[in-house]
Structure 1
Amino acid sequence: MTTPVALTIAGSDSSGGAGIQADLKTFAALGVYGASVITALTAQNTRGVTAIHPVPADFVAAQLEAVLGDLDVGAVKIGMVGARATIEAIVAALKRFLSRHVVLDPVMIASSGERLLPADAVDALRTKLIPHASIITPNLPEAAVLLSEPVASSDAAIVCQGRRLLSLGCPFVLIKGGHGHGDESIDYLIDADSTLPLSSPRIATVNTHGTGCTLASAIAAGLAKGEDMASAVRNAKAFIGGAIAAADRFAVGHGHAPVHHFHRFY
């Protein structure tokens, strides 16, 4: 029996709600073995990020070599990359080991507002890393930054931005509508031939820490298990919807608590 394996390349969240910790919890909840490459240490909690300590790019490369040189990784999820040199180390490893599926969550700004990617690294993300991704999962502000455009404010504008993001070199874009308004949160899965709207009720809770990380890692888990892209995205959206709906079961911290990664179990 082959064990599905997924790798997360991301920053560490000391409060356990986002980043590496959220990704590994998601992999475990979805029956996938999780490995990790840490790109940065953050001092953060449910109220925000207070400090960031980048991991040197050569040590990121060493972690990648250790994991990809041994484990049969079925999918890679990339989150916070931190710096241009780190992006270059990741791209070199992807070229060398030819990972099958790469889910890129273009993390640039924390949900609490702190900038997580220097301006000089955004271009490297756009031109060097995105072409190696199977799918990117930007929210509306991230999509706007990648395209150097205003944030989309209508469904038509969101879809248009998603189609323009395809020109950066990835075959799929999941542009997320969580920053929008209305009773429904609509994400759009876009490829060269189709646009698939995925709607879910907007859940009234402040406990949404780690939602983007969790969604992207859930997609990676599905791909690692052999699901096609549309199925992986649909199942991931159902998983994050359940995790957000159950988030108020937690009493963690004094700010925006995390989603409930193990809502199917307790």
Structure 2
Amino acid sequence: MTPPVVLTVAATDSGGGAGIAADLATFAALGVHGACVVTAVTAQDTRGIRAIHPVPAEVVAAQLDAVLDDLPVAVVKTGVLATPAAVVCLSTRLRSCSGTRPLLVVDPVLRASTGATLAGPAMIAAYEEHLFPIADVVTPNEDELEALGRPDHPGLLVTRGGAVVTTNDHGTGCTYSSALAAHLAHGADLGTAADAAAAFVAQQLLVSQDWQLGRGRGPVAHTIPEGARP
């Protein structure tokens, strides 16, 4: 059977724990085909972000056109968008979609789990003006919700830490929003998709809770234990 398609619009993570690496691994684990649009290249490890190189808006636009003109994208999910221009570019492209527009899951990544700030006032303003109005779901964590001024949005889902106690949690927000997008692509309603995404993240945190990878906040697992695949 041909799988549904989910597109991530996000940044790379050279350490493999978050960003596009986490998104594509989660998509594969949950049975959807993952496409990607790179908004920035980061030099990143478990201790922090060393450098960010934003991709020019015209290249972001070209990637969006390449995917959306060719593949039947069911859901678009966002991660680090890097610049206000990328936010506007994505919003404009989605608004111009002919036929049924893909569902939009916005993970407003304002701060990395390592503490780095990834979006200032201009980015927040761009989210509020251009992306939130067309988002089907917005998935901030508590800190991001506060930074956004606690907006009133019908699809707002505040992600919270689970019962698994571990510092191997780098990439949990990306993994959650990607799992949510995957379940939506399979046809689940929002409540069912949200519950399934939370259960998936909890399962993966259990897998990685005792890992020793890196010298900072280790990654949430993107390996799937034998017999645990959906």
TM bracket (short chain): over 0.9
Matches within 5 A, 1:106-145: 106-145=108-147
Tell me, in whole angstroms, the C-alpha distance in 1 between the residues paired with 2:92 and 2:114. Answer: 31
What is aligned with 2:38?
38
Unaligned runs of 5+ in 2: none
- How far apart are residue 2 of structure 1 and its match? 3.4
Residues 3 and 31 in structure 2, CA contact (< 8 A), matched pair in contact too: no
Aligned AA for 2:152? L
- Deviation track 1:41-82 (CA, whole Å, cap 9, x = no partner) reads 000001110100000011000000000000001111111111
1:174 and 2:161 aligned: no
Match of 2:63 in 1: 63
Q: How many residues align?
A: 225
Contact 1:83/1:118 (<8 A) preserved: no
Deviation of 1:89 (Å): 0.5
Partner of 1:165: 152
Tell me what 1:212 maps to.
Answer: 173
Give distance in 1, aligned partners of 2:75 and 2:16: 22
Would you say 1:93 and 2:93 are equivalent positions?
A: yes
* 3-state SS, counterpart of residue 212 of structure 1: helix
RMSD, aligned CA: 1.4
The yes-or-no answer on 1:234 pairing with 2:203 is no
Question: Does 2:176 correspond to 1:224?
Answer: no
Alpha carbons 2:74, 2:103 under 8 Å: kept: yes
Q: Is residue 111–residue 117 contact of structure 2 (8 Å, CA) maintained in 1? A: yes
Q: Provide the C-alpha distance between the structure 1 equivalents of 2:54 and 2:29, rounded to a whole number of angstroms.
A: 28
1:246 is aligned to 2:207: yes
Q: Per-residue CA shift, 1:191-232, capped at 9, x if unaligned?
A: xxxxxxxxxxx2111100000000000000001111111111
| TM-score in terms of structure 1 length | 0.81
The farther-off stretch of 7-16 and 111-120 is 111-120
Letter in 1 for 2:167: V
Whole-angstrom distance in 1 between the partners of 2:152 and 2:27: 27
Distance in 1, Cα, partners of 2:34 & 2:73 = 9
Structure 1 runs not aligned, ≥5 long: 148-160, 179-184, 186-201
Normalized per residue, the structure richer in strand is 1
Separation in structure 2 between the aligned mates of residue 249 and residue 206 of structure 1, nearest angstrom: 9
CA contact (8 A) 2:13 2:41 kept: yes
SS at 2:184 equivalent? helix
Alpha-carbon displacement from aligned partner over 1:137-176 (angstroms, at most 9, x marks no partner):
01111011111xxxxxxxxxxxxx4xx421xxxx311112
2:221 counterpart letter in structure 1: H
Asked if the contact 2:5–2:73 (Cα under 8 Å) also holds between the matched residues in 1, the reply is yes
SS in structure 2 of the partner of residue 174 of structure 1: coil
Inter-partner Cα distance in structure 2 for 1:113 and 1:260: 20
- Give percent identity, aligned residues only: 46
Q: Which has the higher contact order (CA 8 A, sep 6+)?
A: 2
The residue type equivalent to 1:5 in the other structure is V
Name the aligned partner's letter for residue 6 of structure 1: V
Mapped to 2, the partners of 1:83 and 1:11 lie a distance apart of 11
